[in-house]
A and B are shown apart, each in its own frame.
Chain A
Amino acid sequence: MSDATMDASLNGPEPTQLKTADGLPLKAALAKSQLRAKRRAFLLVAPLFLFVLITFVVPIGQMLLQSVYNDGFSKNAPALGQWFNEHPLGSPIDESAYTALASDLKQMKENRTQGEAGTRINYDVAGTRSLFTSTARKIERLEPPWKESILGVNEGWSDPNLWRAMRSASSPYTVDFYLAATDHTRDKDNNIVPVDPQRAIYGKLFIRTAILSLVITVLCMFLAFPIAHLLASLPLAKSNLLMIFVLLPFWTSLLVRTTSWMVLLQQQGVINDLLVWSGLIGNDNRLEMMYNQTGTIVAMTHILLPFMVLPLYSVMRTIPPSYVRAARSLGATSWTAFRRIYLPQTLPGIGAGALLVFILSVGYYITPALVGGADGQLISNMIAFHMQKSLNWSLAAALASMLLGGVIILYWLYDRLVGIDNMKLG
């Protein structure tokens, strides 16, 4: 085949249109033969590709979708959906609207979906879930005129804000969960307004999460650098032994490490006991090092330290000691040699470690939950709350997507500033 191709290309009448012996253009023949190889190669990576798709792309895609898609109300209230389509915002809520409401409530009662629909509206207007469940329970005994009889069951139905919420929920696609995730809501005329400052929480938590993660990253950097340097400069036998001390906590359960810190740091804990015993502080003013931000920072720094030590160590191992020696012999002070020669070479390790630690701490959840107390809570604790307790998965997805977006922006910034090729993960 390849000989024939050669012949054709050498002896062909038109050098511009190369053809194989069986008359196919060379390009097509090449593509055809390569296609098989490509297909084979694809089949080889297909399992991996499928794995990534199923375990990574699909769940994240679903989460992103969930943050803008919630059909809890729209699929259960077709009549109201139609009414909202026919009557623009600002139309009076008249008998026809209540007729649609009654027909939907009857349907919900039959399918037992009033809870689902009510929950969706309750995300927007607090206290309305029970309107749906209680009215649906009685709807079969009600009679027209619907407006009068439904308002007779519960006055709450006349709230214009409720009707605005139902209108916006009658389309399954919405950005309202992102509004909620940024401490905003809509008023009864559909304008975006900030929520009551007493309820504004997510912005504050995002900022706190970023600041705490930054503090933890910097602390890890300062603690890990000398450790990694020591490990890298010792002979292998000794450094391997010391490495155990880094890895042993790394292999220990997260919960065990967190609770050991609680034993150490709490007010009746080991450190406070030692301080009181040595007379440094009185028994009455024991230090508060747990159940606040200090506790969160200490425990998380310890837990995340190996993620900084390991990349740093693997980079430092590859730096020949002769460079620093050469700088010293050329007259550099030890500080200059460190600053100009050694430090720049460790940058890939620092970058990788910092990125790892920062991204991990942004999403940390169990440690702040256990040792964070009141002011050591992070945004992930709110995501967990909405996943497990309030079951508002759309809001949880919106918060998580914003967190994911933030991390991606960070990664992009890192790539622009340091260059992702310079990263060395170990």
Chain B
Amino acid sequence: MKKAMILSTALVGLVAGAAQAEEVTVLSWGGAYEKSQVEAYNKPFAEATGIDVNMEAADNPATPIKAQVEANNVSVDVADVEKSDAIRLCDEGLLEPIDPDTDLAASPDGTPASEDFIDGSFTDCGVANIVWSTVMSYNSDKVDGEPTSIADFFDTAKYPGKRGLRKSAKGTLEFALMGAGVPAADVYKELGTPEGVDKAFAELDKIKGDVVWWDAGAQPPQLLADGEVVMSTAYNGRIFNAEVAEGQPFKIVWDGQLMDFDFFVIPKGAPHMEAAKKYLKFATETQQLANQAKWISYGPARKSSAPMVGMYQDGKTEMGPHMPTAENNMQNALVNDSEFWADHDTELSERFNAWLAG
């Protein structure tokens, strides 16, 4: 009797499994960001193709991928990872190669995908979906005047008050160089030379006594709101949220913004390879990328999506000007160079930490 029941349960399970064969598992970051993906990619995808999308969240989706592929037990079909991880996982042979021309859709006006994405949107096995940015922001209640450039961040004589900076070499040194007047385009060239590194640290020395160092992305809005700092570097989505959703008097200075990408990748041995490729193609289409910007202020990586970005979910905030990729915000923008940091992270972090401790 019992045996029969087990058997029949197993059979039902099998049948159910067969019926639901068309599905795809996407691993992302949770929170408001995941919500934007569910609304903009998953729901229309299920509607258009009949393939169910399972959304899963991880602290960093790159971590389980390495473990899964190495154990030959992959459950994820598509993952959303940071660019540096996309490069690293690809180098280690853990990802499916992706060819922009065959695996991605062209834009509505026929521009092939390989030309429609912002520079740096492709690696051999991944494609960028959004652009996020680390920006300089300030509390307009606590700052007299209106800072306009990244150099103002390092000028405590002109704008007195504490500064918030991320406690890491990555990011901070770029801001220091741009603060010292190096144009965004030359930052990594300079940072590759000993003189450039010295220059960055000399710039940091100017404000060392006035810096509050932060680690987690939630800290800068808090520090700004508490008045603990008057200016801070921060992730643009967090400042947008504090500004628009919570009504804080925060302002973003887009000069010297440090952009980075999030990537869609497909792990080697993904269980639903066909569906995964379909999802990747669908989600990175012009319209879908434009739609996700409605839910969070991270910019679409596709050039043709930018003009289609509409209103925030509150129905009255125009999202366009809040995007890191908006033309006005891109005047002096730096794209994070993952290759550079893969090479120099250890060396510069050691020097940075020694400088901090000294």
Contacts and interface: CB of A to CB of B under 8 A. Distances in A.
B232 to A, nearest CB: 13
Contact of A127 (B90, B347, B354): B347
B168 interface: yes
Contact of B354 (A118, A199, A385): A199
B88 A199 contact: no
A205 to B, nearest CB: 7
B357 A375 contact: yes
A184 interface: no
Interface in B304-358: 339, 342-347, 349-351, 353-358
Interface stretch (B72-80, B103-111, B150-158, B206-214): B206-214
Contacts of B353: 201, 205, 377, 382, 385
Nearest to B125: A112
Given A112-B91, A115-B92, A127 B344 contact: yes
Contacts of A390: 345-346, 349
A113 B213 contact: no
Given A130-B343, A199-B347, A369 B215 contact: yes
A377 B346 contact: no
A1 interface: no
A222 B162 CA distance: 35
Given A116-B92, A133-B91, A375-B356, A267 B228 contact: yes
A126 interface: yes
B357 A205 contact: yes
Contact of A373 (B90, B212, B343, B347): B212
A374 B93 contact: no
B339 A130 contact: yes
A122 B208 contact: no
Contacts of B195: none
A198 interface: yes
A182 interface: no
A91 B209 CA distance: 51
B98 to A, nearest CB: 14
Nearest to A386: B346
Q: Which of the listed residues B211, B212, B350 has the most CB atoms from chain A within 10 Å of its own CB?
A: B350
B181 interface: no
B13 interface: no
Contacts of B227: 267-268
Contacts of A205: 353, 357
Interface in B64-95: 87-88, 90-93
Contact of A130 (B167, B342, B350): B342
B144 interface: no
A190 B162 CA distance: 46
B234 to A, nearest CB: 17
Interface in A377-419: 377, 382, 385, 389-392
A268 B141 CA distance: 15
A114 B343 CA distance: 13
Contacts of B246: none
B168 A122 contact: no
B357 A112 contact: no
Given A126-B347, A133-B91, A268-B226, A200 B354 contact: yes
Contacts of A118: 91
Nearest to A373: B213
Given A112-B93, A208-B357, A382-B353, A374 B213 contact: yes
A111 interface: yes
B350 A113 contact: no
Nearest to B340: A130
A116 B91 contact: yes
A120 B192 CA distance: 20
Given A126-B344, A127-B347, A130-B339, A266 B226 contact: yes
Contacts of A195: 350
Contacts of A266: 226, 228
Contacts of B345: 389-390
Interface in A106-131: 111-116, 118-119, 122-123, 126-130
Interface in B170-219: 192, 208, 211-213, 215
Interface string A186-227: 000000000100111100110010000000000000000000
Nearest to A125: B347
Interface in B217-241: 226-228
Interface string A339-373: 00000000000000000000000000000011001
Contacts of B342: 119, 122, 129-130
Interface in A240-296: 266-269, 291
Contact of A112 (B92, B215, B351): B92
A122 B346 contact: yes
Contacts of A268: 226-228
A128 B215 CA distance: 28
A370 B342 CA distance: 26
Contacts of A373: 212-213
A204 B354 CA distance: 8
A233 B82 CA distance: 58
B346 A392 contact: yes
Contacts of B162: 267
B357 A377 contact: yes
Given A116-B92, A392-B346, A374 B228 contact: no
Contacts of B211: 374
Nearest to B225: A268
A122 to B, nearest CB: 6
A198 B202 CA distance: 13
Nearest to A127: B343
Interface string B50-65: 0000000000000000
Contacts of B347: 126-127, 199
B111 to A, nearest CB: 26
A122 B88 CA distance: 14
Which 5 pairs show the lowest CB-CB distances between chains A and B? A115-B91, A112-B93, A126-B347, A201-B354, A268-B227
Interface of B: 87-88, 90-93, 162, 167-168, 192, 208, 211-213, 215, 226-228, 339, 342-347, 349-351, 353-358
26 contacts: A112-B91, A115-B91, A115-B92, A116-B92, A126-B347, A127-B343, A129-B343, A130-B342, A198-B351, A198-B354, A199-B351, A201-B357, A204-B354, A204-B357, A266-B226, A267-B162, A267-B228, A268-B228, A269-B226, A369-B215, A373-B212, A374-B167, A389-B345, A390-B345, A390-B346, A392-B346
Interface of A: 111-116, 118-119, 122-123, 126-130, 133, 195, 198-201, 204-205, 208, 266-269, 291, 369-370, 373-375, 377, 382, 385, 389-392
Given A198-B351, A374-B208, 17 more contacts: A112-B90, A115-B92, A116-B91, A118-B91, A126-B347, A127-B347, A128-B343, A129-B342, A199-B350, A200-B354, A204-B358, A268-B228, A374-B167, A374-B357, A375-B356, A390-B345, A390-B349
